[in-house]
Amino acid sequence: MTRLTLSAALGAFAVVVLLASALLGSSELSWPQAFAALWGGGDETARIIVWEIRLPRALAALGVGMALGASGALMQGLLRNPLAEPGVLGVSASASLGAIIALYFGISALGAFTVPAFAILGALAATGVLSLLASVRISAVQLILAGVGLSSFAGALGALAMNLAPNRFALADMVTWMLGSVTNRSMDDLIVIAPFWGVGAILAVLTAPHLRALALGEETAQTLGVDLGRTRTGVIGAAALLTGAAVAISGVIGFVGIVAPHIVRPFVRHDPSDLIWPSALLGGVLIGLADLVLRLAPLDQELRLGVVVSLIGAPVFILIAARSRGMGR
């Protein structure tokens, strides 16, 4: 199966998930009413439910999944490690810490771009540290342990900020970022986030072709004309922008960046440059489906998306790690 065929199939599946998310929900709105509202017809209440509640949430879930899936594929290609992923390596936790700092100190009141900007700065710092560690040729196990330590440290600082929260409203916002959710997201939130995702996607497009050569080793890549410094900077920037913006709108959602590339990899013959976009689409499908199931689940209180995804993703991560060979090399 070629990359284009796989991407087309996943893209069609993503559209189906998006439409289902717009048409289905807990409100007493029939399929015909929701379908008519989606195309601009129906009554005002139906249009509000579809366009201002369901569709923004569905787009946020799809965008977050795509950003995390692409980030995981980028980091795996850069670090040449199939276990690299924003959540496992502490990038998501660091991005969440950046968002929490903006909320804790009231910086978020300065403008809508402040929380995404601080989240991206946190993700950029974590990704830079990991890239620096990878450049000194430490083993895969050491890199994973360093990421776990980075994630724990960022999580501890976030917990400290919540412990010292000045009021319960600030605490509620911080808890949202830590647990992960796309509930109550609006089109305005997506408009704020879209430029960051757009620039991250452009950087990914520019750096993706060099990951194929980098998979052969840094020395071989240099002989093939790859600028390692520029490639590393581009991948770090793309991963930080994509992950930081995703965390800014949804909070921490882990393991998507490792599960999606792991499923896609056999279909693209393990080519890191062809892995990015199918991984992004599959990540969007997975998060979109998970959020749809949570919305339709007959529970008194809706579960947080990040909690449920981690409950499913953590065992999958353990399975992938157990099946990986040569981790200690």
For residue range 236-295, list pLDDT tens digits in order: 888 888 998 898 888 888 889 989 999 998 888 778 888 999 999 999 999 999 999 988
The average pLDDT across 134-159 equals 81
Sign of the C-alpha dihedral computed for residues 157, 306, 64 and 320 taken in this order: positive
The pTM (predicted TM-score) of the whole model is 0.88
Residue 73 is inside which H or E element, if any?
helix 55-79
169 exposed, middle or buried (CB, 10 Å; 0-12, 13-18, 19+)? exposed
CATH numbers and ranges of domains, the chain: 3-8+59-323 (1.10.3470.10)
Torsion angle of the four alpha carbons 171, 289, 204, 225, in this order, in degrees rounded to the nearest 10: 130
Residue whose pair of structure tokens reads 């924003």 in the numeric block: 86
Q: Which of 56, 300, 94 is nearest to 187 (CA)?
A: 56
Answer yes or no: are the C-beta atoms of 75 and 239 closer than 8 Å.
Answer: yes
What's the pLDDT at 104?
A: 83
What's the pLDDT at 39?
A: 83
Tell me, what DSSP letter sits at residue 267? G
Least confident range from 21-25, 29-33, 133-137: namely 133-137
Question: Can you tell me the distance from the alpha carbon of 227 to that of 272, in angstroms, rounded to the nearest whole number?
Answer: 17
What's the pLDDT at 329?
A: 47
Question: Can you tell me the distance from the alpha carbon of 240 to that of 127, in angstroms, rounded to the nearest whole number?
Answer: 7
Angle made by CA atoms 120, 217, 209, in degrees to the nearest 5: 55
**Banded pLDDT at 61 (limits 50, 70, 90):** very high
Question: Can you tell me the distance from the alpha carbon of 18 to that of 58, in angstroms, rounded to the nearest whole number?
Answer: 6
Burial profile 259-285: b = 16 or more Cβ within 10 angstroms, e = fewer: bbbbbbbebbeeebbbbbbbbbbbbbb
